Chain A
Amino acid sequence: MSGNTWRQRLAGLRQRLRPQRRLRLQRSGIVVILGVFSLGLATLNTGNNLLYLLVGALLGLITLSGWVSERALTGIHIARRSPFGVTAGQPVRIEYRVSNRKRRLPTAGLELRDAELRRGEVRVRPEIVEPAFLSLVPAGEHALAAEVITVPRRGLYRFERLQLATTYPFGMFTKERDVRVPGTMVVWPRTDRPVPRVRAAAGRRASHQPAAARFVPGVERGEYRGLRSYRPGDDPRDIHWRSTARRGEPIVREYDRDPGDSIWIVLDLAAPDEASGEVAVELAASLAADASGRGERFGFAAGGVSLPPPAGGGSHLDAVLDLLARVELGPGHALHLPARPGECLLVTAGSAGGEDFAAVVRPGTGAAARADKP
């Protein structure tokens, strides 16, 4: 059994043995407890009945604190609004809707933090930039709060453990409780790695053309095909305003493109090690983002999965990044090409590649490892 498995089992065991409620004493709590002891000694020494009453009051406040904090953490329903378009290493804002289902008591001073995520079998602790906090949720009402976290690596994450904490009502203790609010989050790879500008072998579009010229309808985007509903990622300049006004929903123009005008970004999943493989994924993501940003059409393929046909636009880039977030690297993957090598830009951390490819980009060898082929 590998060391990783043991570690996972130990983590699982620790998780199971974790108490349902955790209590951390705050400074004011220490003061109150010391006060109870001191006053208790004075009471026993003097026998003053009213001091018994005052000691009882302090103990009563501690009891009340325990009960109210327990009620603050229970009787609530939490719904998470899963974020879209999360990029590794970038702060992500996760929204929570907390409904207080209690009939009388409010939930107050509630802090929510995603203490643990799970990528596959690996438990990950995200960096909490700012936990979600709710001052007051009256009985029968709901409130919204947002936390900001950072996830360092791409992947498909499951939200595993949401930690609720409160110092309400008196700030003597912090009471914590773990809940499960199921959900997943796709974290895209980074797209900010410097990459070479690569054109397809046909290379009929000059990459040095000004951006405004490239987006002239019918010139850069092929022939006008028709109208369709707006999809996220579509260029706002393609909106057909007259039809939008008539239909009451955003309508965009659609164009045909020349298939020979596109390039395929092919990611080789066979990576010798995890680090270089991850860099290769980020390079592929950066190439896709770069191409998309320049309004170029591109296809994408990784490990036998390809996203047909080559296209441009934001939604296409989203699909590519979504696929890149999920791909699993390893040494045993075979390289599948969706088109002629001359139309493919190969991104690999392994030894694949050759002169036939339009370009080959490798991690650690500089942004312009291979110049564009003429």
Chain B
Amino acid sequence: MIPSPGTFLHRRLTTLLALIAVLAFVSGAGFTAPALIPAAALLLLGLVWNPPDRLRRRLELFWRALALLLALRAGYQALFVPTDLVLPMVDLLLLLVVAETFRAQDAAGEARLYALTFALLIAAAAYRPGALFGASFVAYLAVLTVTLMVGQLNRQARLRQLPQPRLPARFLAQSAALSAVALAVSVVVFLAFPRVSWGARAAPVSRTVTGFADRVSLLGHGSRIYPNPELVLRVEFPSGAAPPASERYWRGRSYDRFDGWTWSRTAARAHRMIETRQWPAERTEQLVYQATLRDANVLFGLSPLLDVRPRSRILPYREPNGDFTYGGSAEPVYTAVSVRGQPGAEALRSAAAAAAAGREEARGLAATAGVPAALRSYLRLPPLEPRVYALADSLAAAHANSYDRTIAVRDWLRDNLAYTLDLPATVAEASLDHFLFERRAGHCEYFSTAMAVLLRAVGIPARNVNGFLGGEWNEFGDFLAVTQNQAHSWVEVWFPSYGWVRFDPTPASVGALAAAAATPWWSSPGFLFADLEHRWSKWVLDYGLEDQGQLLRQLSEPFRPAEGAADAPAAVSWWRVVIAAMVLLLLAAALRSRASRTSDRPPSGAASRAYLRLRRAYARAGFPRQGPALTFLRQLELAQAPGMDAAGRAVRLYAQVRFGGKQLDVAGKRRLREDVLGVERLLRASRSRAPEVPR
């Protein structure tokens, strides 16, 4: 059977619809479902190829067998494997979409295909997709509108055994344009529907994080660290400019315990993170939109981070070690408050020297003398090779205070070791002493670990800190975009009177910051996309009750009386003019539409009214009333209708007025009226003489 052009058009449209739904799913879950690529390939094939019926029947068996297998797999995973159930279901869904696309389409099959593609969109929504979903959604709605319209016309034609209608390209374009109505309603519902939810919100599926992780481990080996441009933080600075690149340390987690391979946190003890009285007084606020990180409910802010105020439904918690974590499953949006800048070198040196003097007085005590008990855990070390201690001592020996010793260690690491993203080849090569003495190259976690260990070895409390360094400033969106590529580790060293102060021993970070500062915004290929992603997250994914309130306030702003408006003279504001103009335009459009609807009405005027009354009278009496005026008169003559003389006069006068431009004076109107009344009397009389109509 050769399909008609209309049928093939509809098939192509449904295939395109399925492809867009697949794209929407990819925008959220990526290519995680194994069936995605084969399904997309088959759908692309379906755009240009229509299988013959015989092959279609054979394929049907194949689809059914495969669907059974995938259904069994999904059932097995649901019952026995504690994993994401969505992906096996999506595999099954994709198979059904492809199978339905290649089937001979009937009304039920078409409906199934629409439903399946929509289900793919719903599945995509579960994965917190990016801005690509928005583009896919708009495209889906446009293609769906066209597909539904074409499908409905085809079905109607099939039902009536008519040929499939030939649909011009203009019709298809118009249909696609009409989807703007559905899109507008969708946006209004989205913006206006109150964000109140029943019960528990489903937790969003976590992202795969290759940059930041809530652990620092040196066990990685046999590969290299691949870049990951995934956006993690979008930061706005509502109260001022962004800090310089050298100060963009986004602090996350700190670790006190090192076992030789891995950093972890022991039971936290209460102590203040920093002594804020001694630090610079200037504060900086950051509005942070943070992506959900897998296994890490950490909040980030510029180091040192003082406070966090939530803006989404999260519950921030400041841990005793100064880290901020949160509870709740919403996407974290919060305001972070940080100190701007760091204590100066001289101040730290003085504080360190004073502490060293105190220790001199307490000569004979342990190396930890002078260190508060709460900080003792920051001095513990695992068993290390003697050469590590030897190195620490050699670096510290020339300096009398902890600040200078810290700087010495940091500079040695920066100057003598190299930065690389290549991981050690074996586990044995992944150890700290192998990094310090043999390999002499590693990534940031090696540098921060080495510095913390070397400082602890000489009695200086130090801890490893995880977070991000840098960020790309977006001129259009006025925000800083921080990606997984910028995940970083550094060290915090404790100084009396100041608390924890940041030091970064990684040589690459210096160069990276300098490069970032020098990089023009337009050189970044993902710049515009990052802006789009930011807006998408801010206005779509993270849109909540608070944003609705803000939007409502903005919309009602023009209608609110200005302060002191009661005393001020009435001023015509621009928005009132705009609203008045819009109302007038709508009225004009409505009147015009009404006029066009009533354009079929006969012209008004006494002659026209009399003529129509005459026609109605004859019609009631059962005489024909088709055709223009003179034809109507001729029909009356043929039917020997009563009152022909008066009717003839009236009709001829009407024709002269209506088409001949004759003016109807008062006497003419009277004559016309008398003629029509005379005809009506005659017709009534003739009807009353006629016998009753049997019913």
Q: Are A and B part of the same complex?
A: yes
Interface residues of A (CB under 8 A from B): 4, 28, 31, 35, 39, 44-57, 59-61, 63-64, 67-68, 74-75, 77, 82, 101, 104-106, 108-109, 120, 122, 133, 135-136, 138, 156, 158, 167-171, 182-184, 269, 271, 273-274, 277, 326, 328-333
Complex: A169 Cα to B149 Cα, angstroms: 5
In contact, B693 and A330 (Cβ under 8 angstroms): yes
Question: Which of chain A's residues have a CB closer than 8 A to the CB of B144?
Answer: 61
In contact, A44 and B152 (Cβ under 8 angstroms): no
Question: Given the known A-B contacts A46-B197, A108-B153, are A170 and B171 also in contact in the complex, defined by CB atoms under 8 Å?
Answer: no
Complex: A51 Cα to B127 Cα, angstroms: 11
Tell me if B566 is interfacial: C-beta within 8 Å of chain A: no
Question: Which of chain B's residues have a CB closer than 8 A to the CB of A31?
Answer: 111, 115
Partner of A106, one of B137, B171, B199, B692: B171
| 1/0 contact string of B178-204 vs chain A (CB within 8 Å) | 110111111111100101111101100
In contact, A57 and B178 (Cβ under 8 angstroms): no
In contact, B197 and A171 (Cβ under 8 angstroms): no
Partner of B145, one of A55, A61, A158, A182: A61
Complex: A120 Cα to B141 Cα, angstroms: 52
Question: Which of chain B's residues have a CB closer than 8 A to the CB of A120?
Answer: 622, 693
In contact, B189 and A105 (Cβ under 8 angstroms): no
In contact, B148 and A60 (Cβ under 8 angstroms): no
In contact, A60 and B157 (Cβ under 8 angstroms): no
In contact, A56 and B186 (Cβ under 8 angstroms): yes
In contact, A53 and B148 (Cβ under 8 angstroms): no
Complex: A67 Cα to B181 Cα, angstroms: 9
Give 22 CB contacts A-B under 8 Å: A4-B695, A35-B115, A44-B197, A48-B201, A49-B540, A49-B543, A56-B189, A57-B141, A60-B183, A68-B178, A74-B597, A101-B596, A104-B174, A109-B156, A133-B162, A135-B153, A169-B145, A169-B175, A170-B148, A171-B152, A182-B625, A184-B625
In contact, A45 and B199 (Cβ under 8 angstroms): yes
Question: Which of chain A's residues have a CB closer than 8 A to the CB of B122?
Answer: 39, 51, 54
In contact, A47 and B201 (Cβ under 8 angstroms): yes
Complex: A64 Cα to B167 Cα, angstroms: 20
In contact, B156 and A48 (Cβ under 8 angstroms): no
Complex: A218 Cα to B124 Cα, angstroms: 91
Tell me if B69 is interfacial: C-beta within 8 Å of chain A: no
| 1/0 contact string of B447-476 vs chain A (CB within 8 Å) | 000000000000000000000000000000
Tell me if B552 is interfacial: C-beta within 8 Å of chain A: no
In contact, A333 and B695 (Cβ under 8 angstroms): no
In contact, A184 and B156 (Cβ under 8 angstroms): no
* B661-695 interface (Cβ within 8 A of A): 690-695
Tell me if B394 is interfacial: C-beta within 8 Å of chain A: no
Tell me if B541 is interfacial: C-beta within 8 Å of chain A: yes
Number of residues on chain B facing chain A (CB within 8 A): 70
Question: Given the known A-B contacts A44-B197, A332-B691, are A82 and B626 also in contact in the complex, defined by CB atoms under 8 Å?
Answer: yes
Question: Given the known A-B contacts A48-B202, A54-B125, are A136 and B167 also in contact in the complex, defined by CB atoms under 8 Å?
Answer: yes
Max count, chain B CB within 10 A of own CB: residue among A4, A31, A133, A170: A170
* B214-245 interface (Cβ within 8 A of A): none
Partner of B152, one of A61, A169, A277: A169
Complex: A61 Cα to B144 Cα, angstroms: 9
In contact, A135 and B596 (Cβ under 8 angstroms): no
Complex: A168 Cα to B185 Cα, angstroms: 19
Complex: A132 Cα to B215 Cα, angstroms: 74
Question: Given the known A-B contacts A45-B198, A49-B190, are A326 and B182 also in contact in the complex, defined by CB atoms under 8 Å?
Answer: no
In contact, B125 and A51 (Cβ under 8 angstroms): yes
In contact, A330 and B111 (Cβ under 8 angstroms): no
Chain A residue, CB-CB nearest to B133: A50
Complex: A31 Cα to B599 Cα, angstroms: 40
Complex: A227 Cα to B162 Cα, angstroms: 47
Complex: A35 Cα to B122 Cα, angstroms: 12
In contact, A329 and B597 (Cβ under 8 angstroms): no
Question: Which of chain B's residues have a CB closer than 8 A to the CB of A108?
Answer: 149, 153
Tell me if B367 is interfacial: C-beta within 8 Å of chain A: no
Told that A60-B184, A136-B167 touch, could you supply 14 new A-B pairs with CB distance under 8 A?
Answer: A4-B695, A31-B115, A45-B201, A49-B543, A50-B124, A50-B540, A53-B187, A55-B189, A61-B182, A64-B145, A101-B599, A136-B165, A167-B156, A182-B625
Chain B residue, CB-CB nearest to A110: B156
Interface of B is mostly: helix
In contact, B178 and A28 (Cβ under 8 angstroms): no
Question: Which of chain B's residues have a CB closer than 8 A to the CB of A136?
Answer: 153, 165, 167, 171
| Nearest Cβ on chain B to A335's Cβ, whole angstroms | 13
Tell me if B513 is interfacial: C-beta within 8 Å of chain A: no
| 1/0 contact string of B592-634 vs chain A (CB within 8 Å) | 0000110110000000000000000001001011100000000
Question: Which of chain B's residues have a CB closer than 8 A to the CB of A59?
Answer: 185-186, 189
Chain A residue, CB-CB nearest to B146: A169
In contact, A63 and B182 (Cβ under 8 angstroms): yes
Tell me if B121 is interfacial: C-beta within 8 Å of chain A: yes
Question: Which of chain A's residues have a CB closer than 8 A to the CB of B596?
Answer: 75, 101
Tell me if B155 is interfacial: C-beta within 8 Å of chain A: yes
In contact, A52 and B193 (Cβ under 8 angstroms): yes
Complex: A168 Cα to B543 Cα, angstroms: 35
Chain B residue, CB-CB nearest to A133: B160
In contact, A60 and B625 (Cβ under 8 angstroms): no
Partner of A183, one of B137, B179, B202, B626: B626
Question: Given the known A-B contacts A48-B202, A106-B171, are A135 and B165 also in contact in the complex, defined by CB atoms under 8 Å?
Answer: yes
Complex: A57 Cα to B121 Cα, angstroms: 11
Closest A-B pairs by Cβ, 10 of them: A60-B182, A56-B189, A56-B186, A60-B185, A330-B691, A50-B125, A135-B165, A47-B197, A274-B694, A46-B202
Partner of A53, one of B156, B190, B600: B190
Chain B residue, CB-CB nearest to A48: B125
Partner of B197, one of A45, A138, A333: A45
In contact, A56 and B178 (Cβ under 8 angstroms): no
Question: Given the known A-B contacts A64-B181, A136-B153, A169-B149, are A158 and B137 also in contact in the complex, defined by CB atoms under 8 Å?
Answer: no
Question: Which of chain B's residues have a CB closer than 8 A to the CB of A158?
Answer: 619
| Nearest Cβ on chain B to A219's Cβ, whole angstroms | 33
Chain A residue, CB-CB nearest to B541: A49
Complex: A141 Cα to B149 Cα, angstroms: 20
Complex: A120 Cα to B694 Cα, angstroms: 11
Chain B residue, CB-CB nearest to A55: B189
| Nearest Cβ on chain A to B219's Cβ, whole angstroms | 37
Tell me if B407 is interfacial: C-beta within 8 Å of chain A: no
Complex: A75 Cα to B595 Cα, angstroms: 11
In contact, B197 and A122 (Cβ under 8 angstroms): no
| Nearest Cβ on chain B to A182's Cβ, whole angstroms | 8
Tell me if B168 is interfacial: C-beta within 8 Å of chain A: yes
* B117-140 interface (Cβ within 8 A of A): 118, 121-122, 124-126, 129, 133, 137
Question: Which of chain A's residues have a CB closer than 8 A to the CB of B137?
Answer: 53, 57
Complex: A282 Cα to B277 Cα, angstroms: 116
Chain B residue, CB-CB nearest to A50: B125
Complex: A108 Cα to B174 Cα, angstroms: 13
Complex: A296 Cα to B329 Cα, angstroms: 98
Question: Which of chain B's residues have a CB closer than 8 A to the CB of A331?
Answer: 691
| Nearest Cβ on chain A to B611's Cβ, whole angstroms | 14
Question: Which of chain B's residues have a CB closer than 8 A to the CB of A77?
Answer: 600
In contact, B597 and A75 (Cβ under 8 angstroms): yes
In contact, B111 and A168 (Cβ under 8 angstroms): no
In contact, A328 and B153 (Cβ under 8 angstroms): no
Question: Which of chain A's residues have a CB closer than 8 A to the CB of B626?
Answer: 82, 183-184
Partner of A50, one of B129, B168, B202, B597: B129
Complex: A104 Cα to B171 Cα, angstroms: 10
Max count, chain A CB within 10 A of own CB: residue among B141, B155, B185: B185
